Structure 1
Amino acid sequence: MEPTESLEDQLIELQSRQAFQDDSIQSLSDELAKQQLEIERLGRMVKLLSEQLKQVGTGPTSNPADEPPPPHY
């Protein structure tokens, strides 16, 4: 094998690896973007549920002493 053929083979191998790595990086980047959107959506849901929980906690029956007695009393 001539040295130039070996260099060509090495160059082709490196280009092939770079193409694979570029594709992998793009896939990871896309997945990361999806996860970030999901995290933001879940954060908004947690905030909304927290606000709803606060409203329920400050409702008219938030103090057990304010509740009417059960029917059997």
Structure 2
Amino acid sequence: MSQESERLQDIEVRLTFLDDAVGGLSQADADISQRLLAVEQALRALRSEITSLRAAVGHDAHDEPPPPHY
């Protein structure tokens, strides 16, 4: 095999590994995006639940007087 042929084969092998790495990163990015969306939805649901609970109890932390040591 000539040196040029070896270099070409080396480049092809590297390109294959890079292609696999890019594919793996794309899948990881898609997975992270889905998990982030799920976390955002859960946060919205929790905020809504907290708001509902505050309204049901009729309690707002901003209306409380400061603790006695202030």
Task: Give the TM-score normalised by structure 2.
Answer: 0.80
The runs of 5 or more residues in structure 1 that have no matched partner are 64-73
The unaligned stretches of length 5 or more in structure 2 are 61-70
Q: Percent identity over the alignment?
A: 15
Q: CA deviation at 1:61?
A: 4.5
1:1-73 correspondence runs (5 A): 5-62=2-59
RMSD of aligned Cα (Å): 1.4
Q: Which has the larger radius of gyration?
A: 1
- The number of equivalent residue pairs is 60
TM-score by length of structure 1 reads: 0.77
Letter in 2 for 1:23: D
